Amino acid sequence: MNFEFFIAKRIIDSKAYKSSVSAPIIKIGIAAIAIGIIVMMITIATGIGLQQKIRDKVSAFNGHIIISNFESNNSQESGKPISTQQDFYPNFKSVDGIKNVQAVASKFGIIRTETDFEAIIVKGVGGDYDWNYFKEFLVEGRLPDFSKDRNQDVLISQELANKMQFKLGDKFTTFFRKDDPNKPPTPRRFTIVGIYNSGLKEFDETYVIGDIKHIQHLNKWDANQVGHFEVLLDDYNQLDAKFKAVFQNTPSLLQTVTVEQKHSSIFEWISIFDKNIYGLISIMILVAGINMITALLVLILERTKMIGIFKALGSNNWSIRKVFLYNASYIILIGLFWGNLIGFLLLLTQKYFKLFPLDPSVYHVSEVPIDINLGYILALNIGTFILCLLMLLIPSYIITKISPVKAIRFE
């Protein structure tokens, strides 16, 4: 057995160690490590969880990559149509990692009832539409089926339903303007078959999901003409690389943008979370390290006589320093153990019981989202252990300045 490790283990196992003057300081050091790792785990899990949740919700309404005609304005309404007779539709065979390519079209409309009216965007989708995101958002009813003949079924948000006092199964009329301003708007009657809640208020209060055939009919388009294409990826982390590949494999007359480019303000906002995460982790590691330095100095002061005896017997400075570093490592590991245990319990509690709500109008989600990634947590533990241990190398240097004669006489 390693000599320094053997001595450190004997010190830790001794009763005197547990009832010594340094015992309260050691407990404070363990608590500091535990609290630090808990805070860091919560910060990473909630920060990344919030980013992913908002990212997925924005992608649900736009896709990951949008292929459209070049437009002179930023309107959400489809302008000049695109033919579906494209090499990349319905399958983007020239680029790997493409989950789905769906043809959609959007048009502004006004919902009007006897007592109220509301401006909306009807997003027309077809049988190629991927409903996976909206399956998670669905709170009542069912998802519409637009794979067959044109129908009046629509999916509206809970936000819009509450505002207009609609319920499942209700019918409502939407008016769409014509190109000729002198002609009256065209009415369309829709039936609510499903109600969703994405938590993104700016989208929920605007979008109604309907049959693309209505938009084609209103715009006097052919069946093979659509507003734009939405490309969904297998892995969002490959967005930049896949965007370049998609861009290179689409006609030059078509515009290709990512969801991050289209909604840059939202993604710039959530990117700030990364800086907050790094800042908080740095502060917590620094606080834990300072507490460990204090604990190590107290341990050294308490065992000054032992240091003098070891030096008198011929032990070198580095050997004695290793004894105290082993001791400090034990304290750090105990702190990490309790911190991980409590941290996991808190994260799992929030993940499955959703105890802590958030304001959707501010954070775009109704509760604190949790992303438990074992890779991040393992890296966090290893990084904390190494950094705290490196910080302890400096105070352990004080051992080299202790004189054996004075240390043995130390009271």
Q: Is the pLDDT of residue 350 over 70?
A: yes
Cα–Cα distance between 283 and 261 in angstroms, integer? 33
pLDDT category at 409 given cuts 50, 70, 90 is low
Q: Is the pLDDT of residue 346 over 60?
A: yes
Q: Is the pLDDT of residue 410 over 60?
A: no
pLDDT category at 17 given cuts 50, 70, 90 is low
Those residues whose C-beta lies under 8 Å from the C-beta of residue 30, and which sit 6 or more positions away, are 331, 334, 335, 338
Q: Is the pLDDT of residue 411 over 60?
A: no
- 50: enclosing H helix or E strand: helix 23-62
pLDDT score recorded for residue 295: 85
Average pLDDT over residues 342-364: 87
pLDDT category at 39 given cuts 50, 70, 90 is very high
pLDDT score recorded for residue 377: 92
Look up residue 130 and give its DSSP letter: -
Cα–Cα distance between 174 and 159 in angstroms, integer? 17
Most confident of 83-87, 298-302, 314-318, 367-371: 83-87
Q: Which residue has the higher pLDDT, 82 or 74?
A: 82
pTM attached to this predicted model: 0.83
Q: Is the pLDDT of residue 184 over 90?
A: no
Please give the C-alpha separations between residue 270 and each of 65, 121, 276, 379, in angstroms, as whole numbers: 19, 25, 10, 22
Q: 211 - beta bridge partners?
A: 125
pLDDT score recorded for residue 408: 65
pLDDT in tens, 78-130: 888 999 999 999 899 899 999 999 999 999 999 988 888 899 999 999 999 99
Average pLDDT over residues 273-295: 88
Cα–Cα distance between 31 and 265 in angstroms, integer? 40
pLDDT in tens, 188-229: 999 999 999 998 888 998 999 999 999 999 999 999 999 999
Mean pLDDT of all residues in the chain?
88
Share of residues in the chain with pLDDT > 90 (%): 55
Q: 101 - beta bridge partners?
A: 231
Share of residues in the chain with pLDDT > 70 (%): 95
